[in-house]
Each structure stands twice: as C-alpha cells, then as structure tokens.
C-alpha cells in the first residue's frame, strides 16, 4: 500500500478485517512456501485495534525449483485477494503472472533488490534461545515472561492467533533484573487453551522476534507447588 491513510492486514488482522489471500498457479514440480509476514503495526479503528501495514509492503514466499529443472523460462501465476481499508474497506482482487528464468546464480539480477532487501529487514528474527520465553494463563490475562540482560523499556506483543488477547488493552511490562514479564489482557472471546503463545515480540520499538512460548496454566503451577 502506498496511498496515505490506507492499510492492509497482517496474518492476524486484529478486531476487524482479513489478511491477504493467495492462490498460486505453479509449473509441475515447483512448490512455494507459506507467506512470511513483516512486523506489523497497531492500527486504531472505529471498531478497536487492528494489526497491519501502511505504505509499501512486501510479503515474502520462497519458491522451490527442483534440482532437476533445466535452464530456461517458467511462468508463475498468482490469484491475490486483499482488503484495502481507510474509513471504509474495499475488497481488492488481481491475477498476476510473471516469467522467471532458471539460470546460474551468477547470472541472476534483481531490479528490485533494494526494495526486497529493505523488506527482508522487517521480517521478525527467531528469538534467541537465551530468552527462554514462557507463558502463563491467569484468570484474566496471559503473562509472557522472558530473560534478557539488555535494558528493555518497551515491549509489544502481536499474537499470531485471533481472539487470544484484548487487542486494544495496554500491555504492561515489568522488569526484575534479567527477568521480564509482559501482561496481556485475555480476550473476552478466549475459549480454548493453546499449548503455546505464538506471535511477534517487538522490543524497544526496534527489534522484532518470532515467539513460540510454551504455556502453563496457573492451576498447573499451583499443583506443582503443592507437590
């Protein structure tokens, strides 16, 4: 999106909207991976808080060419649907196709290299194992904990799944030495306890990490303490 004030949605759109949908048309033997989503931003709307993107946005997907493929041209097609929203939402649909040349790596040239490189820098990185993330389910909230010796003044969590947290609620960060915790208000629509809390953790408004924090409930904690 490049028009001012308009936005599209992340994989979890938040309180409204829906993410882009893709349907690929690929040559025989060619496969493509799932979409890789850049770090989203919070978008305040009339119905609550959404997660999405403004401005130029690039979604990545890895194309896998079989090792037996011969040099030459192939054609990749895409049926793409998305919502473009401002004060209203307008469904968008386009069909794209592009020829790709299978060649030696030394002969490949990307005219959009700078755009792709900039977009790749917005992809969340894997969380370092030393952070040891853990999530606890409390009666009205999730408590996301992790360990870091770095000074952290701000942390923001974007859940990968819908209806887990209250998207508009403040996220409270607490720090006790290296131990950090982020309190996330539970969604009123939360019903089924997941095995892990997945999403993107943005630290100090700058560093974005993929999080897959194992969940333990407060009941399990109390029982373990009683043993």
* pLDDT tens track for 105-164: 444 444 556 777 888 889 999 999 999 999 999 999 999 999 999 999 999 999 999 999
Looking at per-residue confidence, does 221 or 43 come out higher?
Answer: 43
Residues 28 and 75 in one domain: yes
Of 205, 214, 50, the residue nearest 143 (C-alpha): 214
| Lowest-confidence segment of 75-79, 88-92, 100-104, 162-166 by average pLDDT | 100-104
pLDDT of residue 126: 96
Dist CA 218 CA 129 (whole Å): 24
Dist CA 11 CA 116 (whole Å): 20
Dist CA 135 CA 221 (whole Å): 12
Average pLDDT, the chain: 89
> Tens digit of pLDDT for each residue in 83-93?
999 889 999 99
Residues 12 and 116 in one domain: yes
Of 182, 106, 114, the residue nearest 145 (C-alpha): 182
> Tens digit of pLDDT for each residue in 187-204?
999 988 899 999 999 999
pLDDT at 45 exceeding the cut of 60? yes
Residues 139 and 109 in one domain: no
Residues 102 and 181 in one domain: no
| Lowest-confidence segment of 64-68, 76-80, 209-213 by average pLDDT | 64-68
Q: Pick from 90, 120, 150: which residue ends a domain?
A: 120
Q: Phi and psi for 219 in degrees, rounded to 5? A: -65, -45
Residues 111 and 15 in one domain: yes
- The verdict on residue 2 lying in a domain is no
Dist CA 49 CA 102 (whole Å): 43
Dist CA 192 CA 213 (whole Å): 16
> Strand, helix or coil at 121?
coil
Residues 162 and 133 in one domain: yes
| 125-126 and 207-217 strand pairing | parallel
pLDDT at 30 exceeding the cut of 60? yes
pLDDT of residue 218: 56
Residues 55 and 109 in one domain: yes
Dist CA 170 CA 23 (whole Å): 36
Listed in sequence order, the residues at least 6 apart from 209 whose beta carbon sits closer than 8 Å to its beta carbon are 124, 125, 126, 127, 128, 131, 200, 201, 202, 203
Residues 60 and 141 in one domain: no
Give the pTM. Answer: 0.85
> Domain limits at 162?
125-226
Q: Are 146 and 132 in contact (CB under 8 A)?
A: yes
Of 105, 19, 102, 15, the residue nearest 59 (C-alpha): 19
Average pLDDT over every residue of 68-95 = 92
Dist CA 37 CA 21 (whole Å): 13
Residues 115 and 180 in one domain: no
Beta strands in the chain (DSSP E): 8-14, 21-25, 31-32, 41-45, 48-53, 63-64, 72-85, 89-102, 125-126, 134-137, 141-147, 155-159, 172-176, 179-185, 196-203, 207-217
């Amino acid at each position: 999106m490049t028009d001012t004030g308009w936005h599209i949605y992340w994989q979890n759109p938040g309180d409204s909207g829906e993410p882009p949908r893709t349907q690929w048309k690929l040559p025989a033997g060619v496969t493509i991976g799932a979409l890789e989503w850049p770090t989203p931003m919070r978008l305040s709307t009339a119905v609550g808080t959404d997660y999405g993107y403004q401005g130029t946005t690039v979604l990545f997907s890895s194309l896998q060419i079989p090792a037996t493929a011969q040099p030459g041209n192939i054609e990749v097609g895409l049926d793409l649907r998305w919502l473009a929203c401002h004060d209203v939402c307008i469904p968008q649909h386009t069909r794209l196709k592009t020829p790709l040349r299978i060649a030696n790596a030394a002969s490949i040239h990307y005219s959009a290299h700078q755009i792709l490189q900039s977009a790749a820098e917005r992809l969340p990185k894997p969380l370092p194992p030393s952070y040891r993330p853990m999530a606890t389910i409390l009666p009205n909230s999730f408590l996301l904990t992790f360990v870091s010796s770095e000074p952290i003044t701000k942390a923001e969590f974007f859940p990968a799944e819908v209806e887990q947290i209250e998207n508009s609620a403040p996220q409270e960060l607490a720090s006790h030495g290296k131990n950090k915790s982020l309190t996330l208000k539970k969604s009123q629509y939360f019903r089924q306890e997941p095995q892990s809390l997945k999403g993107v953790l943005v630290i100090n408004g700058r560093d974005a990490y993929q999080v897959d924090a194992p969940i333990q409930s407060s009941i399990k904690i109390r029982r373990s303490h009683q043993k």
